[in-house]
């Protein structure tokens, strides 16, 4: 048992670093809650068809990276490689489309892909995911993009960039596909790449190999072949983003790693992360619901990597640690004082104050070290002599100031001291 470790490509998030992880996660989701998006939980695994039909059979995610297995009933199941397809399955199964539209949803959770582990790329990662379903409105596209930007801004990030383009729709994609296929047929591509191109030629534009990219300089671009309606949609999205104070970089060669994107498509990248610079992205996917057997309704959303965003925060040297887990600490010395400590900690917690005490047989020195490590701003020290005098010692752990407080007043005195410390900070 002593040799067991986390699987390759995964990691544990442990205190005290987990405070920063939680702070990033909660900051990224706060704009969604303020905008009226409702929280959703979906299973970590789904029927394999949810991803093969939704994500796209030509993608590396489906062909190379999914953790797929047969359960004891012979059903093919897959650990989710991304969160959107599962949310859309829930949207369809529970007929959320029959109510008021758009349906605005968000979730946060683990996803799994079998990839070569490297800095910023893991086999187990955490994403914040949001979706706005049922309405095709450029203003909604702009809202979605702006909410992602707001999350990064709230973290204090400045060295990130929004890449933006349009991938067209059913009115113009077929003609563009013909142009792209004709161009790709002239290139020196291996058989596997040609097979992928036969399923979805846009996948070739996303190929990161230098020998492939070197042949794509003159490839036709979707943004240059948009229909009038799709171009008007894209123009309106950009105007709304301008009105919202969001800046972007036109990225006509941007192709997201999943097949379901149409129209507005975007990616968030950070300039301090090297090769794995993407910290999130998304777009419109107006055909995904129908592909999964649901109604032909539109949708748009994004996913942001909590792990990647934390790396971006660290690259900029930002302090985003969550507030101290403990505000008040009680140090008992002796059995009678321990009873008082347990009771006082319980009262404080019931009143909304984060409180803790020392456990085990520790002397004053060890107990005070525990109080300092807890992050508490104030502590109460109660020894046998204090109890005999009917008092406890209220100590400000930041300044070292200490005063005696009657036992009956310790709860209120400690709660007030903690509240004043919060206001001062």
Tens digit of each residue's pLDDT (9 = 90 or more) over 125-148: 999 999 999 999 999 999 999 999
Check residue 423 and give its pLDDT.
45
* Token pair belonging to 162: 């929004």
- Same domain for 260 and 366, yes or no, is no
* Strand order from edge to edge, sheet including 391-396: 355-357, 328-332, 378-382, 391-396, 402-406
> Is 34 a known ligand-binding residue?
no
For residues 354 and 275, give the distance between their C-alpha atoms in angstroms, rounded to a whole number: 41
- Same domain for 36 and 166, yes or no, is yes
> Is 260 a known ligand-binding residue?
yes
**How remote is the C-alpha of 5 from its chain's centroid?**
25
- Judge whether 260 lies within some domain: yes
**Looking at 273, 291, 316, which one is the last position of a domain?**
316
- Same domain for 268 and 381, yes or no, is no
- Judge whether 4 lies within some domain: no
- Judge whether 254 lies within some domain: yes
- Same domain for 24 and 148, yes or no, is yes
pTM: 0.86
For residues 183 and 186, give the distance between their C-alpha atoms in angstroms, rounded to a whole number: 6
> Is 113 a known ligand-binding residue?
yes
> Is 84 a known ligand-binding residue?
yes
> Is 195 a known ligand-binding residue?
no
Q: Can you tell me whether residue 320 is helix, strand or coil?
A: coil
> Is 416 a known ligand-binding residue?
no
* Distance in angstroms between the alpha carbons of the first and the last residue of the chain: 46
> Is 82 a known ligand-binding residue?
yes
Tell me, what CATH number does 401's domain have?
Answer: 3.40.50.800
- Same domain for 31 and 152, yes or no, is yes
31: Cα within 13 Å, side-chain hemisphere: 20
> Is 398 a known ligand-binding residue?
no
- Judge whether 371 lies within some domain: yes
- Judge whether 237 lies within some domain: yes
| CA distances, 201 to each of 88, 98, 180, 232, 308 (Å) | 25, 35, 7, 25, 29
Total number of domains constituting the chain: 2
- Judge whether 321 lies within some domain: no
**Looking at 316, 350, 375, which one is the last position of a domain?**
316
User: Which residue range forms the structural domain that includes residue 85?
Assistant: 17-171+227-316
Those residues of the chain that have pLDDT short of 70 are 1-2, 54-61, 256-260, 322-324, 421-425
- Judge whether 361 lies within some domain: yes
**Looking at 288, 316, 344, which one is the last position of a domain?**
316
- Same domain for 234 and 302, yes or no, is yes
- Same domain for 266 and 361, yes or no, is no
Pairing mode, if any, of strands 328-332 and 378-382? parallel
Residue (of 225, 234, 218, 216) closest to 166 by Cα position: 234
- Judge whether 238 lies within some domain: yes
- Same domain for 158 and 300, yes or no, is yes
For residues 186 and 354, give the distance between their C-alpha atoms in angstroms, rounded to a whole number: 67
- Same domain for 29 and 118, yes or no, is yes
- Same domain for 149 and 49, yes or no, is yes
Alpha helices in 159-281 (DSSP H): 173-184, 191-199, 202-205, 210-213, 228-243
């Amino acid at each position: 048992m002593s040799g067991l470790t986390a699987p390759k490509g995964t990691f544990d998030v442990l205190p005290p670093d987990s405070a920063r992880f939680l702070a990033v996660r909660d900051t990224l989701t706060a704009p969604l809650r303020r905008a009226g998006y409702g929280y959703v939980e979906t299973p970590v695994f789904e029927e394999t068809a949810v991803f093969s039909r939704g994500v796209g059979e030509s993608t590396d995610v489906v062909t190379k990276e999914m953790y797929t297995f047969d359960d004891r009933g012979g059903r093919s199941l897959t650990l989710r490689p991304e969160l959107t397809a599962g949310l859309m399955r829930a949207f369809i199964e529970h007929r959320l489309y029959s109510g008021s539209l758009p349906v605005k949803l968000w979730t946060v959770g683990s996803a799994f892909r079998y990839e070569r582990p490297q800095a910023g790329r893991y086999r187990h990662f955490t994403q914040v995911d949001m979706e706005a379903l049922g309405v095709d409105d450029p203003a909604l596209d702009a809202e979605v993009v702006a909410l992602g930007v707001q999350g990064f801004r709230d973290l204090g990030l400045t060295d990130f960039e929004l890449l933006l383009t349009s991938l067209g729709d059913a009115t113009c994609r077929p003609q563009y596909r013909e142009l792209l296929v004709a161009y790709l047929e002239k290139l020196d591509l291996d058989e596997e790449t040609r097979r992928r191109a036969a399923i979805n030629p846009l996948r070739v534009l996303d190929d990161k190999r230098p020998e492939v990219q070197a042949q794509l300089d003159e490839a036709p671009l979707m943004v240059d072949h948009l229909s009038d309606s799709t171009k008007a949609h894209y123009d309106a999205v950009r105007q709304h983003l301008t009105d919202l104070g969001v800046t972007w970089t036109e990225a006509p060669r941007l192709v997201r790693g999943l097949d379901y994107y149409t129209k507005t498509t975007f990616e968030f990248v950070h300039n301090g992360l090297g090769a794995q610079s993407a910290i999130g992205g998304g777009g419109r996917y107006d055909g995904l619901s129908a592909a999964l057997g649901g109604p032909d309704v539109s949708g748009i959303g994004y996913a942001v990597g909590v792990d990647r965003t934390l790396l971006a925060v660290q690259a900029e040297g930002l302090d985003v640690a969550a507030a101290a887990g403990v505000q008040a600490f009680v140090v008992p010395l002796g059995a009678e004082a321990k009873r008082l400590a347990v009771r006082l900690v319980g009262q404080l917690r019931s009143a909304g104050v984060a409180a803790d005490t020392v456990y085990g047989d520790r002397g004053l020195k060890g107990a005070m070290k525990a109080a300092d490590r807890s992050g508490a701003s104030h502590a109460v020290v109660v020894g046998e002599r204090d109890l005999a005098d009917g008092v406890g010692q209220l100590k400000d752990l930041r300044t070292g100031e200490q005063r005696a407080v009657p036992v009956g007043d310790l709860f209120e005195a400690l709660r007030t001291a903690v509240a004043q410390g919060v206001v001062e900070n």
